[in-house]
């Protein structure tokens, strides 16, 4: 199976925190309910940011939930354990390239081929790249002015009650305050026209679902409600990228993806 690159679609915009946002800085952990108190920060500027992997992982999980029944993903069927034996975490990943190409989730978000005794599944690298999202300059200014005792963030006091002993387990969580805005950028590799519209419609679906879900930790307790605005969605052909000449197609939102199919014809 050949993979071609016929163009790029760059999607830029802003993620606005409608409630406090906590993206933990703790060690990579996939345990649900894992606790780490401080937020992830850029090591140079010390500003909190949203790792592209956090955004991408959440979009993927939301799309998987929305398409699970259609794709026959149930329980451990068509899912792989990416956790441990004690703490299993099942996610959908297609076992090889050909299956991934036919799968709307893996085509967009990628899959690692399953290798084992009887198979040599090849990877399907993600068509979608999600860059780290940094605070807007305006938000940096605003957050520098507020005095919380922390740089750019606030502490939120949480009191967890032990369900068995009823004892209180107070702790503090660092979070990015409500109102903060981050710049995001997604890059979609256009590999063929047949699947372009479906891919972008699914990306649109995942982003709409994210607005109705939450980003980062502690979503069930009100954290991580975000709004997402598009500022720039531009499609570039390979010819344009090579010569700097020709048309750049701009669309207002991902729901208009049908107009891009003819652009790449």
For 83, 121, 179, 226, 239, the CA distances from 136, given in Å and listed in that order, are 35, 41, 11, 15, 32
Nearer to Zn ion, 105 or 215 (CB): 105
Residue whose structure tokens are 């441990």? 84
CB nearer to Zn ion: pick between 104 and 224: 104
Which of residues 7 and 110 has its CB atom nearest to Zn ion in the complex? 110
The nearest distance, CB 105 to Zn ion, in angstroms, is 5
Using alpha carbons, list the distances in angstroms from residue 93 to 53, 63, 86, 126: 16, 13, 20, 12
73 near Zn ion, rule: CB under 5 A: no
Binding mask 95-114 for Zn ion (x = CB under 5 A): --------x-xx--------
Is 207 a binding residue for Zn ion by CB under 5 A? The answer is no
Residue 94 interacts with Zn ion (CB under 5 A): yes or no: yes
Decide whether 103 or 133 has the Cβ nearer to Zn ion: 103
**Number of residues near Zn ion (by CB under 5 A):** 4
Specify the stretch interacting with Zn ion by CB under 5 A; choose among 26-34, 44-52, 86-94, 115-123.
Answer: 86-94
CB closer to Zn ion out of 80 and 211: 80
From the list 15-23, 92-100, 177-185, 254-262, the region that binds Zn ion by CB under 5 A is 92-100
User: Is the Cβ of residue 37 or residue 68 nearer to Zn ion in the bound state?
Assistant: 68
* Window contacting Zn ion (CB under 5 A); options: 87-95, 113-121, 142-150, 164-172: 87-95
Taking CB under 5 A as the binding criterion, the range among 28-36, 88-96, 135-143, 246-254 that sits at the site for Zn ion is 88-96
Which residues of this protein are in contact with Zn ion, per CB under 5 A?
A: 94, 103, 105-106
């Amino acid at each position: 199976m050949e993979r071609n690159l016929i163009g790029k679609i760059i999607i830029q915009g802003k993620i606005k925190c409608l409630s406090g946002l906590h993206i933990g800085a703790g060690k990579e952990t996939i345990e649900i309910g894992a606790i780490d108190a401080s937020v992830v920060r850029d090591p140079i500027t010390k500003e909190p940011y949203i790792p592209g992997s956090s955004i991408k992982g959440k979009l993927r999980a939301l799309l998987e939930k929305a398409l699970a029944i259609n794709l026959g993903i149930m329980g451990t069927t068509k899912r792989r354990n990416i956790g441990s034996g004690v703490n299993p975490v099942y996610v959908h990943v297609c076992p090889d390239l050909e299956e991934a190409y036919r799968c709307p989730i893996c085509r967009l978000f990628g899959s690692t081929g399953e290798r084992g005794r009887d198979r040599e599944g090849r990877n399907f690298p993600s068509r979608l790249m999600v860059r780290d999202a940094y605070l807007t300059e305006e938000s940096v200014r605003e957050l520098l002015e507020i005095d919380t005792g922390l740089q750019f963030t606030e502490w939120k006091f949480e009191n967890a009650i032990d369900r068995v002993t009823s004892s209180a387990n107070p702790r503090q969580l660092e979070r990015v305050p409500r109102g903060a805005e981050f710049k995001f950028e997604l890059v979609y590799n256009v590999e063929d026209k047949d699947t372009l519209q479906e891919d972008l419609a699914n990306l649109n679906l995942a982003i709409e679902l994210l607005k109705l879900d939450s980003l980062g930790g502690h979503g069930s307790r009100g954290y991580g409600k975000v709004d997402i605005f598009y500022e720039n969605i531009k499609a570039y052909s390979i010819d344009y990228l090579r010569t700097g000449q020709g048309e750049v197609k701009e669309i207002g939102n991902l729901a208009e993806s049908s107009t891009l199919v003819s652009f790449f014809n």
